[in-house]
Structure 1
Amino acid sequence: MKISNREKVMLYILGIIVLGLAYYQLVYSYEINIIQQKVKQQNEIQQKYTTAINTINSIESKKSDVKILKAKISDESLPFYPTISEEHIILELDNLLKGSGLDGGIKFNPIISDSVETEDKKSSTLAESSLQGIVDEYNNEVNDKQKSGIENKGESEKSNENTSSVDSKNSSNSDKIKSSGNSNTNNSNSSSGNNSSSSKSKDQKKNTVQYLKAEVNFNGSYDSLNTLLKAIGSNEKKIVVNSIKIDQDTLSSVKGTMNLEIYAVPKIDDELEGYLKWNLNNTYGKSVPFSTGAASGNIEANKDTSDFVATVKSSTSDLPTIMLGKVNDDLKTTYVYADSNSMENVEIILTQDGDKYYYKYKTSKGTFPINYDGIGAEFVPISQNIILDVKSENRITSNDKSEIKLKIINKTDKLVNVNVTGDDTADPRVKVEGDGSSISVNQK
C-alpha cells in the first residue's frame, strides 16, 4: 500500500498528538500535582515561619506586659493579707491593743470564703414642708414683678396675684401627678432591680474571697480608743472596722465592742512564705510585710510631701521602667505603667475649673482616667504649688536606654514643681517638656 506524502504528514501529526496526550496524562499532570503540593507545603511553612517570627518579635512586648500586670496585681493586693493566719492576727491585734493602752479580748468567727457582703442603699425623697408652697408662690410673685417692672400695687397686680395663685395650684397638682407617676415607675424599676440584683448575686458568688470576722472587747480611756482607731486606720494591712459599740464605764474610762473584718488575697510572689515565718524573738518576714517594691521605698517616702510621683528604672529591674500615680493611693488605682528599653513618652494634663483642679495622664500602655477625653479626675493640691516627684537612677550599662520624656500641660493658676532625684548626671533619664513659665524643674 502506497502512502502519499500528505497522508504521511497527517500520520506524523497524529503521532505527535498521541505522544503529547500520553506525556500530559502520564508525566506532565503527575509533575504538576507534585509541584502544587510542594507550593502548598511551602505556603504552610512560610505561614509557620511568619507566626514564629511574630511570636519572637513580641516576646519583649509580652515580657513588658507581664511585668506591668504583675506590678498592678501586687500594688492592688498590697493592703491585704496573703492568707488568714489566726495566730499572726492575734499577735497583731494584741499589739494594737497594748500599743493604744487598752485592755481587751478577741473572739474570732470561722473563716469564710464567700463574695464580699454588700449593702443596698435605697434613696427616698422626703416630703416638703407645708410652708414650701407659700414660699414658692412668694418667690414666683417677686420674680414676675422684677421681669415685668411693675412697681405699683394696682388692680393689675391683684390680677397677677390671682393668676399666680391659680398657676401654683395647677403646678402643685401636676407635681402630685408626676410624683405618683414616678412612684409607679420606681416600683417597676425596683421590681426589675430585684431581678438584676438576683442575677448580680449569682455572678458575685463566682468571685469569692477569704475573710475573717473578729469581735474585740476593749476597756480603757477614750483617748486610748482614739489611738487604737487611728492605728487601725494607718495599719499597713487593711483591717475594716465594721461597727463599734461604746458604753461609759466611769467618768474617765469607756468599754465596748468592736467588730472587725480582715480580708486575704493570694499573692503572686514569695510574700506568703515570709509572712508565715514564725520567730517571736525576732522580726519575721519582710521589714514592710506587704510591700512588693512597686509601692515601697521612694514612692512611699513621698507621702504628704507631693501630689504625684513617678519612677524611672532600668529595663533589667523586676518593676516596670515607668510608673506614675497619685501620692497616698494605697491601692494604686490611679497608677499608669510602661516598660521598654527606650524613651517613653508620658503626658500629664493639669486643668483648673473655677476653684477645682483636675489631672489626667497617659503612657503607651495605659491612661488615667480610662476615659481620657474628659477633663480628668479631681484632686486638691497639698500646697500652693503642684508638686511632682520623679525618682530616677543611674544607668547600669551602655545598653541601658530606658528613659522618660515627660510632657506637662499646665492649665492652672499654680506652678508645677518637678523634683528630679537620683538621675544619671552623664546621661539623664528624665526629660521634661512644657511651658517654662508655669513649670519649674529642680534637679536634686
Structure 2
Amino acid sequence: MMKLTNREKQLVMVLGFVLIGAIYFQFIIKPQSSKLEILETKAVELRDKVNQVNLQISSNNQLNENYKTLHGKTSLLTQKFFNRIQQENHILLINRLLKDSGLSYRVVSYSDQSISEIMKSEGLSNDENYPLNQLVQAYQKSEVKINQEGSREQQIDEKQQNQSPQVELNQQQSNEKAVEKMEANITVEGSYEQILSFIRKVEAQEKKIIIERLTISSGEDEGLIGNISLAFYGIPKLLNTMDNNLHWNTDQTHGKVNPFYEGMSLNNLDNPSKTDDSTITDRNHDFIMTVKPISSDLPTVTLGRAFDNTLESYVYADNQGLEKVDFMIVQKDDKYFFKYRTQRDTYPKDYEENMVEFLPKGKTIVFKVLSKGRNGDADQNGVELTIDNKSDRLLEVKVLGDSASRPRIITANQSGRISIVRSQGE
C-alpha cells in the first residue's frame, strides 16, 4: 500500500473541504439564496401595498375629518330649526308661552302641516317626498357597521334601497327650498307689556318661531287685543334626533278639564307660577367650545364666538389624541380683540398678523367649554388649552360636563386674569 506524503495528505484534505463546500453551496446555500430573492421580492411588493394602504388610510382619515367638520357645520346651521313639525307638541309649546306671558286668548287656530318654501312661490304640493326629506330618508336607510378592526362598512338593504326615493338632481329651484311648515293664528287679550313679553319669549326660544303677522287694537278698559300669526318651519336632520324643547309625553293629560273655563289646571304646564326656562338659550357667554370623543359623528373640537349664526368664526379639529388650542384676548385702549386656533384651523385666517374686535357681553369675558365624559380606556382624545388674557377684564372659563378623574380639558399654559371653573354638569 502506497503511503501518502504530508503534502499529499494536505491536498486531499483541501480537496475534501472543497467538495463539502461545493455540496453545501449547491444543495443548501443556492436554494436558500433563491428563496431569499423570492422573499425579498415579496417584501418589496408588501411594502408597496403597505404604503398604498397607509395612503388610503390617510385619505380616509382626511375624508372622515372633512365629513365630521361638514356635519358639524350642518348641525350648527340647522339646530335653530325644528326637526319635525308635530302639531301636538307645538300646541303645548304655544300654550306654555301664553301662560308664561300672562296673556289670555280668545281664539287659537292651527293650520294643517304643509310643505312650503322659505320664500313663497306657487306650485308646491304637500307631497312628503320633497328633496330634503328624500335625502334624509335615503341616508337613514343606510346602515354603517363597525367591525372589530374598527373599519366601517356601509351595508344597504337592497329592498330598502329599491324602495327608497331617489333624489332628483334636476329638481326645480323652488322645490329644493321646500320645508315643512305649520301656522298658528292666535287672538289674545292683555296689556301692552304682556304682549311684548310674549313676543320676547317667542324670540328667545332655542328653535326659530317666525312671527309672520301682528296686529294690535284697543280692547275693553285699558286692555289690548292682538292677532298674532306664528309660523313653524321643520328642517329634517340626517340623524334621528328629537328637538330638545319638545320632549313631552303627549299621551298624558295636559291643560284644563274644560278649556273654556279659567279653573284649576291638570298639571304644572298650566301653572303660570312655574316657568320652564329650559328652552331659553343661555346668552351670558362670549365664546364656546365643544369637546367630543373621537367616536362622535361631529368633530372632536369646535370653537367659535357664541351665537354666530354665520359660522364664520368657527374653527374645527378632529384628533384622536390631544389637540393643541390657543386662545387669546387682547385689549387696545378701550377696545377688545380676540383670536384662536387649533392645529387644523385659525381665526382669523391671518392669525399671526390680525385679530378680531368684539364687545364683551358683561363685566367679565366668559368662555364656555362643553365637554363629555370618557367612553372607556381607549378614549384618549382631548384638548391642551393655552390661554392668554391681555385685557383688564377677568376671563372666566366655564368647563362643563368634563370627567373629574380623566379630564379632556387640560390647561397647558395660562397668563393674565383667568378663572377656570369646572363642573360635572350644567
TM-score greater than 0.5 by the shorter chain: yes
Structure 2 Cα separation of the partners of residues 300 and 408 of structure 1: 31
Shift of 1:204: 7.1
Q: Does the 8 Å contact 1:349/1:361 carry over to 2?
A: yes
Q: Which has the higher strand share?
A: 2
Shift of 1:79: 1.9
Structure 2 Cα separation of the partners of residues 88 and 250 of structure 1: 32
Residues 375, 263 of structure 1: alpha-carbon distance in 2 compared, 3 angstrom cutoff: farther
Shift of 1:77: 1.1
Residue equivalent to 2:225: 255
Shift of 1:436: 2.5
Q: Does the 8 Å contact 1:109/1:214 carry over to 2?
A: no
Residue equivalent to 1:111: 114
Residue equivalent to 1:230: 200
TM score, norm. by length of structure 2? 0.57
Shift of 1:238: 1.0
Residue equivalent to 2:74: 73
Residue equivalent to 2:149: none
1:97 counterpart SS class: helix
2:197 counterpart SS class: helix
Residues 430, 302 of structure 1: alpha-carbon distance in 2 compared, 3 angstrom cutoff: farther
Q: Does the 8 Å contact 1:303/1:328 carry over to 2?
A: no
Residue equivalent to 1:30: none
1:145-196 deviations in Å (ceiling 9; x for gaps)? xxxxxxxxxxxxxxxxxxxxxxxxxxxxxxxxxxxxxxxxxxxxxxxxxxxx
Shift of 1:402: 1.1
Residues 210, 313 of structure 1: alpha-carbon distance in 2 compared, 3 angstrom cutoff: closer
Q: Which has the higher helix share?
A: 1
2:327 counterpart SS class: strand
Structure with larger Rg? 1
Q: 2:407 matched to 1:436? A: no
**Paired residue type of 1:93:** I
Out of 362-371 and 239-248, give the one that drifted further: 362-371
Alignment of 1:11-26 (within 5 A): none
Q: Does the 8 Å contact 1:303/1:327 carry over to 2?
A: no
1:215-268 deviations in Å (ceiling 9; x for gaps)? 332223333323321221222321111331111112321113223232221111
Residues 282, 63 of structure 1: alpha-carbon distance in 2 compared, 3 angstrom cutoff: farther
Residue equivalent to 2:395: 416
Shift of 1:363: 2.0
Q: 2:216 matched to 1:246? A: yes
Structure 1 Cα separation of the partners of residues 358 and 233 of structure 2: 29
Q: 2:57 matched to 1:56? A: yes
Structure 1 Cα separation of the partners of residues 82 and 279 of structure 2: 19
Structure 2 Cα separation of the partners of residues 280 and 262 of structure 1: 22
Which of 347, 350, 358 matches 2:337? Answer: 358
Residue equivalent to 2:252: 281
Residues 417, 324 of structure 1: alpha-carbon distance in 2 compared, 3 angstrom cutoff: same
Q: Does the 8 Å contact 2:214/2:228 carry over to 1?
A: yes
Q: 2:266 matched to 1:266? A: no
Structure 2 Cα separation of the partners of residues 422 and 87 of structure 1: 32
2:415 counterpart SS class: coil
1:257 counterpart SS class: strand
Q: CA RMSD in A?
A: 4.3
Q: Does the 8 Å contact 1:432/1:441 carry over to 2?
A: no
Structure 2 Cα separation of the partners of residues 269 and 209 of structure 1: 17
Structure 2 Cα separation of the partners of residues 92 and 64 of structure 1: 37
Q: Does the 8 Å contact 1:343/1:404 carry over to 2?
A: yes
Q: 1 or 2 for the larger relative contact order (CA 8 Å, sep ≥6)? A: 1
Q: Which runs of 5+ in 1 are unaligned?
A: 1-42, 119-201, 284-298
Structure 1 Cα separation of the partners of residues 111 and 371 of structure 2: 46
Q: Which runs of 5+ in 2 are unaligned?
A: 1-43, 122-171, 255-277
Which of 281, 286, 291 matches 1:312? Answer: 291
Residue identity (%): 28
Structure 2 Cα separation of the partners of residues 67 and 392 of structure 1: 17
Structure 1 Cα separation of the partners of residues 375 and 90 of structure 2: 42
Equivalences, count: 305
TM score, norm. by length of structure 1? 0.55
Structure 2 Cα separation of the partners of residues 238 and 324 of structure 1: 23
Q: Does the 8 Å contact 2:204/2:281 carry over to 1?
A: no
Q: Does the 8 Å contact 2:387/2:413 carry over to 1?
A: yes
Q: Does the 8 Å contact 2:289/2:370 carry over to 1?
A: yes
Out of 410-419 and 434-443, give the one that drifted further: 434-443
Which of 322, 330, 340 matches 2:301? Answer: 322
Q: Does the 8 Å contact 1:406/1:431 carry over to 2?
A: yes
Alignment of 1:44-443 (within 5 A): 51-100=52-101, 101-103=103-105, 104-106=107-109, 108=111, 111-116=114-119, 206-271=176-241, 279-281=250-252, 303-328=282-307, 334-368=313-347, 375-392=354-371, 395-420=374-399, 428-434=407-413, 436-441=415-420
